[in-house]
Chain A
Amino acid sequence: MAATALAAGLVTSASAETVRWARSQDATTLDPHSQNLGTNHNFLHHIYETLVDRDNDGALQPRLATEWNLKEGDDTVWVFTLREGVTFHDGAPFTADDVVFSIERAKMEGSNMRQLHADVESVTAVDDYTVEFQMTGPSPIYPNNLTNTFMMDREWSEANDVVEPQDFAAGEDNYAVRNTNGTGPYELTSRDPDVRSVMTYYEGHWGEAPDVTEIQYSVISENATRVAALLSGEVDFVQDVPVQDIQRLSTQGGVKVETGPENRSIFFAYRFGEEPLRSSNVTDSNPFNSPQVREAMHLAVDREAIRQVVMRGQSDPAGVIVPPFVNGWTEELNAFPAPDVERARELMAEAGYEDGFSVTLDTPNNRYVNDEAIAQAVAGMLSQIGINVTLASRPVAQHSPLVQNNETDFYLFGWGVPTFDSAYNFNDLVHTKDGDYGAYNGGLYSNPELDAMIEGLGTEIDETVRDQAIADIWATVQEDRVFLPIHNQVLAYAMNENLTLPVQPENQPRMYEMQVAE
C-alpha cells in the first residue's frame, strides 16, 4: 500500500480521516494531575478538556468554561460559567461538582500541578454550571494557570479508586494511569506505552466534528527513523522534526513542513556577586560582576551567525528572553546591537580585563535544539574578546542540578512561559533566590527593589498599572544585562501534503484542529 502510493508520487492514507502521528517520546502517565509535562498535556488535550484553552497566539479561549470574571465587589473570587450539555465519555454529565473535584484533586500532595493552584483557597459549586474559586488574595492572572488542568468525573474517579493522583514516589500505579474518561473530542481505544496508542472520535462531543476521526499515535525516538517513517508513508504527521532535516523534507514531494515560533527562549546567564568565580583564572574578583564585561559579551555575540550557521535558519534571534506572544514583550526590548568586537575589546580593557580571563561554560547537550553547538559557537565568539571558555557539556539530567544548586559560573539555559506573562520569568529567573522565588536563578542575581515589584505583580488587579510595572522590571533587567539572550526556538512539524496544522507555540499540536484535504 505504502509502496504503491509512493510509486504514484502521492501519499494518501487509506482513510482520509485517520492520522498517524509520530513523535519522539510518549506521555509518561495518563493521570491528568500526576505530572506537569508538556508531552503529557499534549496527549491528554485530545481526551480530557480544560476550563480555558489558548489559541496559537497565546490568547485565552473558552473551552469547558464559557465565561470567567472576577466576582463583582470581591476581587479575590473568580467566577467560571460552565458549558452546558457536555458529557464524559461514559455518558455522565459534566457539572460544577466535577470542577470542584478536579481542582481539589490537582491541589493534592501527590499532584505535580498543584503549584499552579497554590493561591486557590477553596472551590465551590454555586449551581450546576457556576463555580467560584476563592483565592487567598487578588490573583489577576489565575485563569492563565488553568490551561493544562484537566477536568475529571467525580463518580468515575470514586468508582475506580483514583480520587487521589497517582503518587509514584510511593511506588503506586493507579487505574487512571492507563484508563481515561474525559469530555474531550477523542476516546482512548488502545494504549501500549512507548509503542502505540489509538484514539477515536467521541460522537457525543459538544464541539464541531473534527476532520480527523481516528488518531494512531506512535513513538519513534530515533530521529532518522522517525523521518524515514514519514518518507515511506507509514506515518502522516511528525512532531519533533530535527533541524537538519527541515530543508530536505520541505523539498520532498508529498510532504510539507510547517514552522513557527515556539514559546521558548534560549539564553546564557552568569554568576553575580563579588565572590571570585570557581572556574576562572581571575581569583581576586568576579569578572561577570562588571557591567562593562557583560556589555562586551553582549556585543561579541553574533546572533545572526548563530541563526544561519548553527540553526540553519530555524530560530528567531532575540534581545530579550521572552518570545513575542508573551505579555510584556516589546520590539525595543527585543532589539539587539550588531556585533562589535572592537568596542567589546575596549569595554573589556575599561573593566580591567584587557588580558581577558578564563571561565567554564556549562551547557546541556540533549535538551534544546542544537544546545551544545550554540554554546560552542558562543565560546568561539567570546575568545575574540579574550574570554577563554572551557566547554562543559552534559545531559540535561546532570546540567539542570548545576543551575538549581548554583554550581555553575556561566551556563546555557532555555525557558518556556506557560502563562504567557512575563511575571513567570521574573518569579523564577530574576527574583532573588528565596523560598518560592528564584528557583532557577542560578546566577544568584539579586535586586531588592525588583523583588518588591515582582511580588507586587502577583496581586495587582489594574492591568495598566501591572503592565507598566512589567515594563519597568524589564527595563532594569535589560540594563543590568542579567541574561545574554540568543534566540527564540522555532518548531517544525512535517506532514503529508494533504494535511494542514499550524505550529502550536507550546508544542502541543491538536489533531482536532487539523484540516484534511480530499
Chain B
Amino acid sequence: MLAFILRRLAQSIVVMLVVALISFMLFRFVGDPLVSMVGQDTRLDEIAALRERLGLNDPFYIQFFNFVVNALQGEFGISYRLQQPVMDLIVSRAPATLELAFTSALIALFMGLALGVYTAIRPNGVVSRFLMTASLVGVSLPTFLIGIALIYVFAVELGWLPSYGRGQTVNLGGWQTGFLTESGLRSLVLPAITLSLYQMTLIMRLVRAEMLEVLRSDYIKFARARGVPQRRINFGHALKNTMVPVITITGLQLGSIIAFAVVTETVFQWPGVGLLFIQSVQVVDVPVMAAYLMLIAFVFVVINLVVDLLYHVVDPRLRVSTGTAK
C-alpha cells in the first residue's frame, strides 16, 4: 500500500512538471502581456525597459526554471492585471469556486442518483422516457447557452433570482462564504444548476446503465426468488454494486466541475478562480494563467489519487490485485 502511494506520488510530480512545461510553452503564443499593462502613449523605450525588468527577454528555459523554483516555494509572482500577488488572488477567489463546485456536485450526485435509480427501476415508464430524452438535451446544450437562458427566464423575465455575482458574503475566519446570507444563497441557485446539469445527466445515465446491468444478474434473481422485498433488492443489493464506477466518475467529475466552472463563472460573473483565469487570458496575465493551470493539474492529480485509494476501500478484490501486480 505504501509503495503504491509512493509510486503514485512520483507519477504525480512528473505530471505536474509536464503541465508546467506545456503551459509555459503555450504562453509564448498568447501575445504580449505589456499591451494591456500600458496605455497607447507609453513610450516604446519604457515598454522595452519594463519587458526587461519583468524578465520577459530571458531565454525560455531560464524563465521556466525561475518559474518552477518560485512555484515550489508557493511564489507565483504578481498579477500583471490586478497588481497583487497571484497566490493571494487565488486564495481569495478559491472559496467562491469551491462553494459553487461542491453545491453543483451535490446537486449532480443526488439528482443523478435518484433519477438514475428511478429510470432503472421503471425503464419503460412515461416519466423515465421523458427524463431520458431531456437528459440528452442536457448533455448536448452548451453550458454558456443554458446559463444565458436561465438568466433571461429567471432574472430578467421573472425577476426571481439575481443574474450575476455572489451576493452578500460573510467572512468565516478568512473564508468568504455565501452560504450564510439570503442573497448569497439566491445567487448560488442559477450558476449551481447550470454547472451541475451536465454532470447530473452523466451520473443519471451511468447509474441507470449500471443498475439495469446488475438487476439482470443472477444474485438479484435469487434474492427475488427468496422473497427479499423489492426495496431492499434495489437499494441494498443493486445500488451498492453500481457504486464503484459512480465513485470513479463522480471523483473525476469533481475535478472537471472545478476546471470547467470557467464558463459558468464567466456567464454569471461569479468571482471565482475560473473567471480570474478567463480575464487573465484576455490580457495575457502570465503569472495568473500559470498558477491556475498548475492548481487545476494539482486538483486532478490529488483527486485521482484519492479515487484510487477509495477503490481499495470499496472493493476488496482490488486490494489483492495490486498486491500481486507489484
Answer yes or no: are A and B bound together in one complex. yes
Residues of B in contact, count (CB < 8 Å): 53
Judge whether A290 is part of the interface by a CB distance below 8 angstroms. Answer: no
Per the bound structure, the CA–CA distance linking A350 and B53 in Å amounts to 52
Residue of B nearest to A37 (CB): B39
Per the bound structure, the CA–CA distance linking A440 and B40 in Å amounts to 9
Given that A2-B159, A234-B163 are known contacts, is A35 also in contact with B38, CB under 8 Å in the complex?
Answer: yes
Judge whether A219 is part of the interface by a CB distance below 8 angstroms. Answer: yes
Judge whether B237 is part of the interface by a CB distance below 8 angstroms. Answer: no
Shortest distance between the CB of B250 and any CB in chain A (Å):
29
- Interchain Cβ contacts within 8 Å, total number: 149
Judge whether A475 is part of the interface by a CB distance below 8 angstroms. Answer: no
Interface residues of B in 253-308 (CB under 8 A from A): 266-269, 271, 275-276, 278-279, 282-284
Per the bound structure, the CA–CA distance linking A228 and B267 in Å amounts to 11
Judge whether B245 is part of the interface by a CB distance below 8 angstroms. Answer: no
Shortest distance between the CB of A223 and any CB in chain B (Å):
10
Query: Which chain A residues border B268 with CB–CB below 8 Å?
Result: 225
Judge whether B31 is part of the interface by a CB distance below 8 angstroms. Answer: yes
Judge whether B158 is part of the interface by a CB distance below 8 angstroms. Answer: yes
Most buried by A among B152, B163, B165: B163
Whether B156 lies near A231 (C-beta < 8 A) is yes
- Flag the segment in B14-22, B80-88, B112-120, B199-207 that touches A: B80-88
Whether A28 lies near B83 (C-beta < 8 A) is yes
Given that A36-B38, A234-B164 are known contacts, is A395 also in contact with B282, CB under 8 Å in the complex?
Answer: yes
Per the bound structure, the CA–CA distance linking A492 and B80 in Å amounts to 29
Residue of B nearest to A235 (CB): B164
Determine which of B36, B159, B279 lies in contact with A221 in the assembled complex, contact meaning CB atoms within 8 Å.
B279
Whether B41 lies near A401 (C-beta < 8 A) is no
A302-335 toward B: CB 8 Å interface, digit per residue (1/0)? 0000000000000000000000000000000000
Judge whether B151 is part of the interface by a CB distance below 8 angstroms. Answer: yes
Given that A115-B46, A228-B151, A232-B156 are known contacts, is A29 also in contact with B39, CB under 8 Å in the complex?
Answer: no
A183-226 toward B: CB 8 Å interface, digit per residue (1/0)? 00000000011111000000000000000000000111110111
Judge whether A170 is part of the interface by a CB distance below 8 angstroms. Answer: yes
- Flag the segment in A90-98, A123-131, A171-179 that touches B: A171-179
Query: Which chain A residues border B162 with CB–CB below 8 Å?
Result: 232, 234
Query: Which chain B residues border A3 with CB–CB below 8 Å?
Result: 158-160
Per the bound structure, the CA–CA distance linking A53 and B152 in Å amounts to 41
Whether A400 lies near B279 (C-beta < 8 A) is no
Judge whether B170 is part of the interface by a CB distance below 8 angstroms. Answer: no
Judge whether A7 is part of the interface by a CB distance below 8 angstroms. Answer: yes
Shortest distance between the CB of B144 and any CB in chain A (Å):
9
Query: Which chain A residues border B158 with CB–CB below 8 Å?
Result: 3
Interface size class of A (residues with CB under 8 A): 35 or more
Per the bound structure, the CA–CA distance linking A219 and B46 in Å amounts to 30
Query: Which chain A residues border B77 with CB–CB below 8 Å?
Result: 171
Query: Which chain A residues border B78 with CB–CB below 8 Å?
Result: 168, 171-173
Interface residues of A in 222-275 (CB under 8 A from B): 222, 224-226, 228-229, 231-234
Judge whether B148 is part of the interface by a CB distance below 8 angstroms. Answer: yes
Determine which of A28, A115, A116, A229 lies in contact with B164 in the assembled complex, contact meaning CB atoms within 8 Å.
A229
B28-43 toward A: CB 8 Å interface, digit per residue (1/0)? 0011110111111111
Residue of A nearest to B31 (CB): A397
Whether A28 lies near B81 (C-beta < 8 A) is yes
Query: Which chain A residues border B43 with CB–CB below 8 Å?
Result: 115, 436, 439
Whether B83 lies near A229 (C-beta < 8 A) is no
Shortest distance between the CB of B228 and any CB in chain A (Å):
51
Judge whether A169 is part of the interface by a CB distance below 8 angstroms. Answer: yes
Given that A115-B43, A436-B43 are known contacts, is A397 also in contact with B32, CB under 8 Å in the complex?
Answer: yes
Whether B165 lies near A196 (C-beta < 8 A) is yes
Whether B42 lies near A115 (C-beta < 8 A) is yes
Query: Which chain B residues border A169 with CB–CB below 8 Å?
Result: 50, 53-54
Whether B30 lies near A220 (C-beta < 8 A) is no
Query: Which chain A residues border B276 with CB–CB below 8 Å?
Result: 194
Interface residues of A in 385-408 (CB under 8 A from B): 394-398, 400-401, 404
Query: Which chain A residues border B35 with CB–CB below 8 Å?
Result: 396-397, 400-401
Whether A228 lies near B152 (C-beta < 8 A) is yes
Per the bound structure, the CA–CA distance linking A479 and B43 in Å amounts to 28
Shortest distance between the CB of A143 and any CB in chain B (Å):
16
Judge whether B44 is part of the interface by a CB distance below 8 angstroms. Answer: yes
Given that A35-B38, A401-B31, A401-B32 are known contacts, is A170 also in contact with B279, CB under 8 Å in the complex?
Answer: no
Most buried by A among B46, B268, B269: B269
Query: Which chain B residues border A505 with CB–CB below 8 Å?
Result: none
Given that A169-B53, A222-B269 are known contacts, is A232 also in contact with B85, CB under 8 Å in the complex?
Answer: no
Most buried by A among B40, B44, B278: B40
Given that A177-B84, A401-B31 are known contacts, is A112 also in contact with B42, CB under 8 Å in the complex?
Answer: yes
Judge whether B208 is part of the interface by a CB distance below 8 angstroms. Answer: no
Judge whether A418 is part of the interface by a CB distance below 8 angstroms. Answer: yes
Residue of B nearest to A6 (CB): B159
Determine which of A37, A116, A219, A233 lies in contact with B159 in the assembled complex, contact meaning CB atoms within 8 Å.
A233
Judge whether B155 is part of the interface by a CB distance below 8 angstroms. Answer: yes
Determine which of B53, B148, B151, B278 lies in contact with A170 in the assembled complex, contact meaning CB atoms within 8 Å.
B53
Whether A397 lies near B283 (C-beta < 8 A) is yes
Query: Which chain B residues border A436 with CB–CB below 8 Å?
Result: 43, 45
Residue of B nearest to A440 (CB): B40
Most buried by B among A171, A233, A418, A424: A171
Instruction: Known A-B contacts: A7-B159, A218-B269, A224-B267. Give 8 more (CB < 8 A).
Output: A25-B279, A34-B83, A173-B83, A173-B84, A194-B82, A228-B148, A228-B156, A231-B156
- 18 pairs of residues in contact across A and B, judged by CB atoms under 8 Å: A2-B159, A7-B159, A28-B81, A35-B39, A112-B46, A168-B83, A171-B78, A194-B276, A195-B166, A225-B268, A231-B156, A232-B159, A234-B162, A395-B282, A397-B284, A404-B47, A439-B43, A439-B44
- Please list the residues of chain B having a beta carbon within 8 angstroms of any beta carbon in chain A: 30-33, 35-47, 50, 53-54, 77-78, 80-85, 148, 151-152, 155-156, 158-160, 162-166, 266-269, 271, 275-276, 278-279, 282-284
